[in-house]
Amino acid sequence: ARHDTTHGWHDARLEPYAPLSLDPATVGLHYGQVVFEGLKAFRTEDGSLAVFRPEDHARRLRESARRLMVPELPEELFLESVDALVAQDQAWLPDDPDMSLYLRPVVFASEATLALRPAHEYRYLLLACVTEGYFGRAQRPVRVWVTEEFSRAAPGGTGAAKCAGNYAAGLLAQETARAHGCDQVVWLDAAEHRWVEEMGGMNLFFVFGTGDDARLVTPPLGGTILPGVTRDSILRLAPELGLPVAEAPVSLEEWRKGCEAGEITEVFACGTAARVSPVNEVCTAETSWTVGEGTMGAVTARLSRELFAIQRGAVPDRRGWLRAVPGT
């Protein structure tokens, strides 16, 4: 769909997947006025497809848009486009519960100008691809690199928005992590480099204690962390499973000492693409440590199973998180 200052959003249509042709002065390319989302459609037990919490992704896209001076995409247009594309592409999704359709909506400034001001023209694109989990089927344990050198988001910056520039700014740290044999970067707060925030594409949860005493802690949002839809799902699911949750700051030091003392028993990362993935090894420039047994812990496994069961429609959708796609 297109947007310009005189027509609002207009001309939405399904087109065969093809390269885009853009003016060399396209604003989005130069000044990064680009916001996007990532959400998934799953094949449910009855064979039809359902999208997980699309209204919440539509809301986050509007919030990201507001921060980047991009015109907000109406929820109705977002949902219609998701329905239409999933219905069209359903045959691509194999009948395999580990596979899902990953949907990538993106809104970018398409006006051709070098003027530094909010653009007058935008395009909304939605594309889909068939994926398994980010870390493959097994949701294998992840080894993470804590960067004390780089920052992802400063107070007042764009950390809470899902905008292209955040990811570009993270690549150097990401490659440093890889060079140290790690899969992912853990970001700390920009002011003190002390408080754990999130990872490149996932939010983090800490499990304190075991068995009936287990409880979850995740860093509070506070404007520099992306408000993950999966994070929110875990925050709501866990208490129903008898797991207390708190949004509270966790320092890097507390993470290390907590693991050494056996108080922190599991850590997991969660996101649409990553699902629920255990973090088993933590590296910094000075030291490294393991979390729990270094395998997927019981709490992580339980939450992962529970969330996946909801997404596949294997248990009743009591929270209204699944949107059935008409024509599937």
Residues of this chain that bind ligand PMP (CB under 6 A)? 38, 162, 198, 201-203, 226, 228-231, 271-272
Least Å distance between CB 17 and ligand PMP?
22
Q: What's the angle, vertex CA 282, arms to CA 280 and CA 286, rounded to 5?
A: 155
Which residues make Cβ contacts (< 8 Å) with residue 246, sequence separation at least 6? 215, 216, 217, 218
- Least Cβ distance, residue 221 to ligand PMP (angstroms): 11
Q: Which is nearer to ligand PMP, 38 or 118 (CB)?
A: 38
Task: Supply 28's token pair.
Answer: 């989005």
Nearer Cβ to ligand PMP (203/300): 203
Residue closer to ligand PMP (CB basis): 12 or 127: 127
Cβ 160 to ligand PMP, closest distance in Å? 10
CA–CA separation, 193 and 284 (whole Å): 12
Question: For residues 26 and 311, which CB has a smaller minimum distance to ligand PMP in the complex?
Answer: 311
| Cβ nearer to ligand PMP, comparing 165 with 209 | 165
Instruction: Judge whether 326 and 79 are in contact, CB under 8 Å.
Output: no
Q: 50 or 226, CB closer to ligand PMP? A: 226
Residue with tokens 């990553």: 274
Q: For the CB of residue 10, give the shortest distance to ligand PMP in the complex, in Å.
A: 28
Q: Least Å distance between CB 100 and ligand PMP?
A: 12
Q: Enumerate residues 6+ apart whose C-beta is below 8 A from 171.
A: none
- For residue 203, the minimal CB distance to ligand PMP (Å) is 5
Q: How far is the CB of 38 from ligand PMP (least distance, A)?
A: 5
Structure tokens at 6: 């005189």
Tell me the one-letter amino acid at 292: G
Cβ proximity to ligand PMP, 26 vs 174, nearer residue: 174
CA angle 178, 99, 159 (to 5 degrees): 45
| Contacts of 126 by beta carbon, 8 Å cutoff, 6+ apart | 81, 82, 85, 103, 104, 105, 106
Residue owning tokens 């929110």: 232
